[in-house]
Amino acid sequence: MKTKRFTSVALVAGLLIFSVPLRAHHGYAAFYTTKQVTLKGTVVEWHWVSPHSVLVFDVKDDKGNIVQWATEFGGKSFMRNTFKVGDEVTVTLEPAKNGAPVGRTLTVVLPDGQVLVAQRGPGTLSPTENPSDSPKR
């Protein structure tokens, strides 16, 4: 009995010790947190992985050139089959400070009009019927 209790305590302590560095790697210093960009584009790739998924989409710039953007968010299981290559999406994101065409997802509007809204943690999306119902950031 004492061995099981010790093992349980050691496991919990170990998880707590390692959770601090894991949380620390989720910094967003590379992205503007006060600037948002909304882009309309076509899905090129969708990498559903945990803990970070990546949506790659093509956007036409002001000159008509195609710019490939990538945006990151959490790997929620409901999103596994959310995006299909060729889908037209509207993505609002916080862009990279270095000017690269990458960002941290805030919202995504799907072809059917469904809106995925970032909630409670950077890059965590959930579906919503009405974007105004989502918590304020």
Q: Would 77 be classed as within a structural domain?
A: yes
Distance, in Å, from the CA atom of 75 to the CA atom of 64, rounded to the nearest integer, reads: 32
Distance, in Å, from the CA atom of 55 to the CA atom of 74, rounded to the nearest integer, reads: 11
Q: Would 16 be classed as within a structural domain?
A: no
Q: Would 25 be classed as within a structural domain?
A: no
Domain that holds residue 46: 37-133
Best mean pLDDT range from 5-14, 29-38, 60-69, 80-89: 60-69
pLDDT in tens, 52-85: 788 999 999 999 999 999 998 766 656 777 889 9
Q: Would 83 be classed as within a structural domain?
A: yes
Counting residues of the chain whose pLDDT is more than 70, the rounded percentage is: 61
Contact assessment for residue 8 and residue 15, using Cβ atoms and an 8 Å cutoff: no
Q: Would 18 be classed as within a structural domain?
A: no
5 vs 101 pLDDT, higher one = 101
Task: Write down the pTM of the prediction.
Answer: 0.68
Q: Would 13 be classed as within a structural domain?
A: no
- Domain total in the chain: 1
pLDDT for 32 equals 84
CA atoms within 13 Å, Cβ hemisphere of 30: 14
pLDDT for 81 equals 79
Signed CA dihedral, 10, 11, 14, 19: sign only: negative
pLDDT for 21 equals 42
Q: Give the CATH number, domain containing residue 63.
A: 2.40.50
Q: Would 71 be classed as within a structural domain?
A: yes
